[in-house]
Amino acid sequence: MIHRRNLLTGLASLPLLSAPALLSAQPMAVITPAVAAPDTAPVARPLPPIAPQFMPTPVNVQPDLIPNSIIVLSDQFYLYHITAPGKAMRYGVAVGRAELVFRGQAEVGRKVEWPSWKPTPEMIARSPSHYAKYADGMPGGPTNPLGARALYLYQNGHDTAIRIHGTTEPQSIGSAASNGCLRMVNEHVIALYDQVALGTPVFVY
C-alpha cells in the first residue's frame, strides 16, 4: 500500500514531478478495482496467459488526477490511463530491472505502429553477446521486441529512450524484466495507443 507521506518522500528525488498537481489529500491507495474489464480492446488472437489482476480493468481513482494522463506505479506493475475525473483504465506492465527503473515525469513525444528497434549503446555494453548483432537496428514486426505499438517518452523535447510498448514476452508482465522501458501485452498497448494523444503527460513512480 502506498501512503501519501511515503509517496511524497519519493517525489522529493524527482524534481520534474509536481506533487501538488498530482496528489490530493488522500493516498494513492484509493485506486481500487471497480468492475470487470470490458471487452473493448482490439483482439487479433487469444490473449496470452497473464495473471488476472494485470488484465485491463476500469478503476476509481482520486478525482483530482489529470484527465488523459498516464500514471505508472512501478512497484505495483500497474499503468493507469486517467480517462475522466475519478476514472481510469488500469493495465499490467513489466518495468525495468532494479538498477534500470525509470522514474520521473515525461510526455508522449512520438507514437509509432509496429516500431523498429535499436538497442542503446548502454544495452550493448551491458550485454554485447545479446544486443551487438542488432546494433544497426531491427525492422518492426511480430518478432520485434517493441511489439505492435510504442509511445516514446520525451522530456523537454528530448527523447529519453524510454518507451511504453508491446512485447514478444507477455509472460514478463508483472515483473521487473526490461532495460528500463514499460512493456504491455500487444493487445493492451494497441488499446492504449488508440486513446493517447501526443503531448500526454506521463508520471512514473
What does the CA dihedral 127, 128, 130, 135 come to, rounded to 10 degrees?
Answer: 120
Within the chain, residue ranges assigned H as helices are: 4-11, 19-22, 121-126, 128-131, 186-195
181/165 Cα distance (integer angstroms): 8
Which listed residue (130, 158, 165, 188) is catalytic? Answer: 165
Given the residues 3, 81, 158, 181, select the one marked as catalytic.
Answer: 181
Question: Quick check: helix, strand or coil at residue 131?
Answer: helix
Contact between residue 96 and residue 179 where contact means Cβ atoms under 8 Å apart:
yes
Is residue 130 flagged as an active site residue?
no
Active site annotation includes 165: yes
Report the side by side order of strands in the sheet with 78-84: 32-33, 57-60, 87-92, 78-84, 70-73, 201-204, 104-113, 149-155, 158-165, 182-183
Residues serving a catalytic function are 165, 181
